[in-house]
Structure 1
Amino acid sequence: MLDAALTFFQEQLNNYIKIKTGGQKEDTVRFAEIQPPKEVGMQSNAITALLVNLEEERIFRSGAAYSSNLPNGTSRPANPNLCLNLHLLFIANFKDYVEGLRVLSLVLKFFRSYRLFDCQKFPSLSPEIEQLSTEMVNLSFMEQGELWRSLELPCSPSALYKVRMIVFQDMEMDFVETGAELGEIQSITSQR
């Protein structure tokens, strides 16, 4: 689901930038290139999108196990949903500094215009994702410095957004039962 959310934003931003530039900029938003062991490469003359953090949304977390109802009328314990927030960094890496600022401004305008994304307004959003909302994250100079140092990248014009909320739930597997012998695992799944 993480991949679906990221590619959704990439496609939507690319379409928005293409419209706003009259077709001059195509596929401007691209993902970072990760080179082993830990080098992050920014795309040239593009906005580089990078997932920099995942955090559990603790407000919606319940310590109690949920009950899963089976077709035969019985129920059994099930794990609660995992709700995650994403932190997406959009970095302008253009040879022409002013052009980079212009395109980064379009990213800011996009997220200002569209703060809530659901399947009704955006049919290309994965059906697994009920809705996403975005908000800009303000970092202090010290926090910005720590972020750039941890990425081992030069400080560049950028915008950081918090995306709420991707909900992971497993409808197929209710629980895993381990057998007497080490390594023997039987999966018990519910039928729909």
Structure 2
Amino acid sequence: MIHEVFSFLKDQLGQYLRQHDVLQEDRVVFREKDKAELSFANNAVTLLLINIEEENTLRPDAPYLQTRKDGTRVSVNPEIRLNLYILFVARFSDYGESLKYLSCIIRFFQSNRVFTHDTFPGLSENVDRLVMELVTLPFAAQNEIWNGLKAGYEPSALYKVKMVIFEDEEPESLATVSDLDLRIKGFTG
């Protein structure tokens, strides 16, 4: 599902940038891997997953029980709600171009803070909705990220993408009271 979110955001941002750019080529890419070191594509916007965080605040009261629409109760592993931290890096030969594209990225996500199936039919059926939140890091945290990437700073914006939900695909049916009653009578009688 994470790859579907990345592909969707890449495609939507790419389409937006093509509409607002004189060149009609795709300038949004996934990160490149050059040998053992990370590198960013030149004259492009690169998406990079920085962190995954579990969202615990919306957990159900009984996380291992679920009632289906037909009224049957099943045992399931609780769903996992994830927030993805995605870094959008604008790397262009001309620093002014980098800033221009960074501004376009921020403008795009400001105009499209929530992605739903109603507004964006290309959103995967596996994803209910995405909410984009710009994250402002202190200088020390930014420094740690770029040091961890072993790369020099490039104009970039970090977004928290809420929520990608992973659900248990194989729930186990729970025994009903009448099933238990029959087993007990059969055992004792």
Structure 2 partner of 1:34: 33
- Per-residue CA shift, 1:122-151, capped at 9, x if unaligned? 000001111010110001111110110111
RMSD of aligned residue pairs (Cα, Å): 2.0
- Partner Cα separation in structure 2 for residue 161 and residue 25 of structure 1: 26
Contact kept, 8 Å, 1:13 with 1:29, in 2: the verdict is yes
Distance 1:142 1:16, change over 3 A: same
Contact kept, 8 Å, 2:89 with 2:156, in 1: the verdict is yes
Secondary structure at the counterpart of residue 60 of structure 1: coil
Contact kept, 8 Å, 2:14 with 2:27, in 1: the verdict is yes
Deviation at 1:27, TM superposition (A): 1.2
Deviation at 1:170, TM superposition (A): 2.6
- The within-5 A match list for 1:123-138 is 123-138=121-136
Deviation at 1:21, TM superposition (A): 1.4
Q: Structure 1: which 5+ residue stretches go unaligned?
A: 176-192
- Partner Cα separation in structure 2 for residue 102 and residue 4 of structure 1: 27
Structure 2 partner of 1:4: 4
Structure 2 partner of 1:158: 156
Letter of the 1:122 counterpart = F
Aligned residues: 172
Secondary structure at the counterpart of residue 124 of structure 1: coil
Distance 1:72 1:94, change over 3 A: closer
TM-score by length of 2: 0.84
- Partner Cα separation in structure 2 for residue 58 and residue 68 of structure 1: 18
Q: Percent identical across equivalent pairs?
A: 40
- Partner Cα separation in structure 1 for residue 67 and residue 44 of structure 2: 49
Deviation at 1:40, TM superposition (A): 1.3
Secondary structure at the counterpart of residue 78 of structure 2: coil
- The within-5 A match list for 1:173-192 is 173-174=170-171
TM-score by length of 1: 0.82
Moved over 6 A (4+): 70-73
Secondary structure at the counterpart of residue 47 of structure 1: strand
Deviation at 1:103, TM superposition (A): 1.2
Contact kept, 8 Å, 2:86 with 2:158, in 1: the verdict is yes
Whether 1:19 and 2:1 are equivalent positions in the alignment is no
* More relative contact order, 1 or 2 (CA 8 Å, 6+ apart): 2
